Structures are given as C-alpha cells and as structure tokens.
Structure 1
Amino acid sequence: MIRLLLMCFALCVVYATSKPTEKKDRVHHDEPLSSHEHDDAKGFDYDHEAFLGREEAKTFDDLTPEESKRRLGVIVGKIDENKDGFVTEEELKIWIKKAQKKYIYENVDRQWKDFDADNDGMISWEEYKNVTYGTYLDDPEPDDGYNYQQMMMRDERRFKTADRNGDLIANKEEFTAFLHPEDYEHMKEIVVTETMEDIDKDGDGFIDLKEYIGDMYNHEEEMEEPDWVATEREQFAEFRDKNKDGKMDKEETMDWILPSDYDHADAEAKHLVYESDANKDGKLNKEEIINKYDLFVGSQATDFGEALVRHDEF
C-alpha cells in the first residue's frame, strides 16, 4: 500500500511537470462549514451542517422533533468537555471544527491499521518508518531518482513536531496532526518550512519571484506564457512581498499558504450562543440548547420509518 502511495506521488509529480499551463495552488483553504447560505430568516440549514457536519445533518432531517431533541441532549454531553454543565463558545467552536474535520479523522482511521504494527493503539516513529521506508533503507540510492533518506528525515522532523510529549509515539490525535499538519496550529510552522524547502531552489532561506513563479509554472520556450502568470507576478509584488525586499521570508510565506482571514467556526459558535443564551450569561446550559433545537439540529419530517434507526453513538 505504501509503495503504491509513493508511486502515485511520483505520477503526480510527472503530471504536474507535463502541464506547464496548469497552475499549482499552495494555499491551504479552509473547508466551508456548509453549502447553504447563512440566513436564519430563510432557514437553519447552514447552522445544522455547521454544527453536525454535512453527512450527520442529513440523518437528523428525517427525525421527529422528539428524537432530534433526545439526540441533541446526547451531543450536548459530548460538547461539554469539562463536564461543568455548561457549553461555552470555545467548546462549541472545538465541536464545530471536529464536525467539519470528520472526513480527516475517517481518513486517519483507514490508515491507522497499516501503521499500528503491534496493535497497541499507538504508532511509534519506528513503526511508521519501517512500514513506509523499510524496503528502501537497504538501497540508499534507488534507480527511481527519489531520495528516500531525505524524505524520511523530513517525515521524522514532522513526526517529532506532531508528537507533543516527545516520546516518539503518536496517539490518534498526534498522528492526525502528522498526516494533516495544516489543520493544527502547532504544525503550521513545519508546513511553512517544508513549503519553503520545496520552492527555495538556491537555499538562501527566502522565496524570490523567480522561485515563486517557477513553482507554479514549468516554462517551456515554445509555449506562450499564460495570462495568470503575469497576474501572479503582480500578486507577488503587491501582496506576497509585504516588506518589498523582493523575496518572501517565513512570515510572508505563512500569510500566503496559511491565510488566517476569517474563522468560520468561531463565528458560528458565537452566533449559536447569541441566539440560544436565554439568561445572557455568555454560555449555554442543556435546557437552553434543547429549547432552540430547531437552530441546532431541527428535524422537519414526521415520518418514522428507517430514519429512526439509532446509530451506536446515540
């Protein structure tokens, strides 16, 4: 499986270099909380998808109000992480982010069994290294042109960054941070470092205009330069290179690939608290949330049928 992944990676590289007019996007975009417009006057579909995640929201659409309220009560207990009987904006934000990242966790779950060789519920660096690079370590200079030793060193550095307690053993959350570093605050610097290493061809620790364009556009003399290349040169001069020294440093690169424009989960958490906080104490109790169940999960159908089949978590 791992060998297949590496082959797929190699094919992606070949494909990218064979399409000189195709723009490469380094920016890590936040997933939208919902496909619906956020307008409570028209309905609460946006809030449902933001709070539950898109797939889970569909399961609530066909429940009776009574069953929706019951399930919402179960969810409230999960959101209240410190078990003080209240749900804060921060706890809501954490929950919403988890709901939106469910697809990431499912991806991690699929890969977990491939790396947890001893089935102890943890993945050590040695386990990951042996599964991923074991067959290549015996041949430090393979014929395919890839430097697996260098790739392994980068993976080890990222693994150590994700490993918060420094024991070189990853639990599920640490392994998720390793596989999806752009989604974790403490991993953002390593994402920037890896990006700069890929683009900074002269190794001076900066990304100049030539390197910036070269990463997106594989120039071939016989081909006319596409219009978007000129636009990117303007973007570099006007927005990427903030201090106008002709190159991007780490901070400027982070602003480019990991923009922190707007926290949708934070805004939605504030909205849910504002709309549901009956006593205006800045936090929600279970009763306040259940009373506004239509905002959080509101079911609309009265048909029982298959929709009322309970999932294990409920």
Structure 2
Amino acid sequence: MNCGCFRVVASRNMRTLTPLLVVAICTSWVVCKPTQEKKGRVHHNKDLSDHQHDDSQDFQYDHEAFLGKEEAKTFDQLTPEESKERLGKIVDNIDSNNDTYVTASEILAWIKFVHGRFVSEDVDKQLRLFDKNHDGSVSWAEYSNQTYSHLLGEVEFYDVVEKEKYRKMKERDERRFKHADKDGDLIATRDEFTAFLHPEEFDYMQDMIVTETIEDIDKNGDGVVDVDEYISDMYTPETDEPEPEWVKTERQQFKDHRDLNKDGKMDRTEITHWIHPQDYDHADLEAKHLIYESDKDKDDKLTKREILDNWNMFVGSQATNYGEDLTRRHDEF
C-alpha cells in the first residue's frame, strides 16, 4: 500500500531543502536566513524515496518518505528497548477514548496534533527572533532588516551576482509577506506570520505556493513547466550517467498524470492540481497505511502490542513527529 507524505517535500533527492546559509550568532545580532533558503520550496512530490516500497524487506522507503534521509537518522538515537518503552507511552495518548485500541481516526488526529504542534513551536521560535519590540507581531521592517540588511548592505562581502540573488529573494519574501498580511498594514499578527512561514497550512496562500513553484521550476520563463524542467527539478545527471529507472517512470507520470490536456507541458491549472490535489489527504493516507501494515488480525484497529511489534515503522513516521517524540519526556505530552 503506497502512501503520500504529510510534510512538504521539494524533490526526490531533497537538494532544494538544503540550507545555503549558516545561522551566525554575533555579539549583538543574529544573521537570519531568507525564507526560501530556510524552508525550501513549498510543494509536494508524489515519489518520496529512491528505495523500493517493500515493507517486507525494510522500512527505508517509509523512513525517507516521512523524514528525509537526515531526519530518518533520529531513529538511531535510542536503543530498541528505549524506543519501544517511549512509544508505548505515546500510544496511550493516541488512544483518546481509552478503549485499549487505536483506530485510523485516532492516528489521524494524532498526526494532525503533532504537525500542528510542530508549526506552532516553529512560529514561536521565529517570533522570538524577529519580534524586536515584543508586541506579539512581526512587521515587514523587522523581518527584512533582520534577514536582509547584512546580505545587501556590504558590497565587499558579496559579489554582484550574490547580491542580485538576495535582492530577488527579498522581493519574493516581501510579496509572500504582503499576501499573508490580510489587512495590508505590513504588520503580521501571529496568524499572518504563520501563513508567511507555513503557507501550505492556509487556503488563501495556495495561489502563492503555485506561483513560487512555477518560478522555481520554469527555467525558460514561459510560464509553464515542460517535462525536462519537471525532471531537472528532481534529478541532475552526472556526466555520461544513464538515466535511472525512476526518472523514466517519472517522465511517464508527467505524461499520464501531470499533463492533463496532453500538450506536453503543465500550465498553472495543471500545476495547481499537482501540488494541491483535491482528493489526496496525506495525513489520512498515512494513518491508513500505519493501520494496514500493523493490523495483524485485520480488525481495522491496533492494540498496543500490534504497534509495538511494528515499532520500527512507527518511530520513523509522522505518528511520532519523525522520531522526535521518542526523545521527549512523557510529561511533555
């Protein structure tokens, strides 16, 4: 059973999610990363791992699909015994009606809770960084000064090409900030700042996500995405390297499922359908996947024993916030 990724994934090899800058802490101020370099592009991709999805062999596909290669290493922080013990405590929290069974709806609720907590904690952290006057909101001046003044202010620090890159990033961040700022006062409330940082969480930001996606993939600037642009966003071949099978498969996916009107390219409507499919709920699919893979007696619900028997799948899934919840104390839930 294949399932989608609840988190936002920019490409198969995750290149676009790698930060290009390092946060530098100085004696009096903090160097901040532009939104694009900090978050990566906001869109999902159906193919989630280079590994075959075969849970009878291993869970590498699931781990990389849910975590990315680096985050999946969190799984190795604890011994199996410690992981099982802490996972058991998490199961008690997932079982909201205390009937000793965990259903798909309870796992779905838990995944959404964990995801919501991640977003909330991230916004809290960014507010502490950018809200210089401590009024609970972030103005565009506060954000841009903190993020871009050091990048654009020193000619000798960056060459002309680098400064132009950051100038364009600032323009793009300002456009997203203004779109998130519903009342247009250039001061983002906590909710508006959340929409700026996590636009995938807000319906009114979806059009902005589509625009940014096109800008990132459309290399020739014609406003549409052809198959070569689509592939190059995921895969850069080495010299004389034969094209991998997964790339050939992805080309066929483009032809069969992305290019709906069969004109050889994706227009804005088709890109919207790709990154915002109406009938595709990542959290719901993952909850059903976890039930399907762990429900040994096929009664459509899980006992704690069934979950612990399949603990390595759960600690690598969103049910435990990519493994992070296994390192939290029980009293933190």
Scaled by the length of structure 2, what TM-score is found? 0.54
Q: What is the CA deviation profile of residues 172-217 of structure 1, one whole-angstrom value per residue up to 9, with x for unaligned ones? A: 1111110111111111111111111011111110001111111111
Q: Which residue of 1 aligns with 2:217?
A: 199
**Contiguous gaps of at least 5 residues in structure 1:** 14-20, 24-28, 55-96, 268-305
Distance 2:226 2:153 in 1: 37
Q: What is the CA deviation profile of residues 55-82 of structure 1, one whole-angstrom value per residue up to 9, with x for unaligned ones? A: xxxxxxxxxxxxxxxxxxxxxxxxxxxx
Q: Which residue of 2 aligns with 1:102?
A: 117
Instruction: Report which of the two structures shows the higher radius of gyration computed on alpha carbons.
Output: 1
Distance 1:162 1:137 in 2: 24
**Contiguous gaps of at least 5 residues in structure 2:** 1-22, 24-29, 42-48, 52-64, 68-89, 286-328
SS in structure 2 of the partner of residue 190 of structure 1: helix
Please point out which of 150, 159, 174 is paired with 1:143.
Answer: 159
Q: Which residue of 2 aligns with 1:113?
A: 128
Q: Which residue of 2 aligns with 1:274?
A: none
Change (3 A) 1:162 1:223: same
Change (3 A) 1:196 1:121: same
Matches within 5 A, 1:27-42: none
Matches within 5 A, 1:104-183: 104-139=119-154, 142-143=158-159, 145-146=161-162, 147-183=165-201
Distance 2:278 2:179 in 1: 21
Structure 2 residue 250 is the aligned partner of structure 1 residue 232 = yes
Change (3 A) 1:127 1:245: same
1:43 alignment partner AA: Y
Change (3 A) 1:237 1:143: same
2:189 alignment partner AA: N
Scaled by the length of structure 1, what TM-score is found? 0.57
SS in structure 2 of the partner of residue 113 of structure 1: helix
More RCO (CA 8 Å, sep 6+): 1
Query: How many matched pairs?
Result: 211
Deviation at 1:49, TM superposition (A): 4.7
1:225 alignment partner AA: E
Distance 2:100 2:266 in 1: 45
Two-structure CA RMSD over aligned residues (Å): 4.0
Q: Is residue 50–residue 100 contact of structure 1 (8 Å, CA) maintained in 2? A: no
Identity of matched residues, % = 44
Deviation at 1:256, TM superposition (A): 1.4
Distance 1:243 1:264 in 2: 25
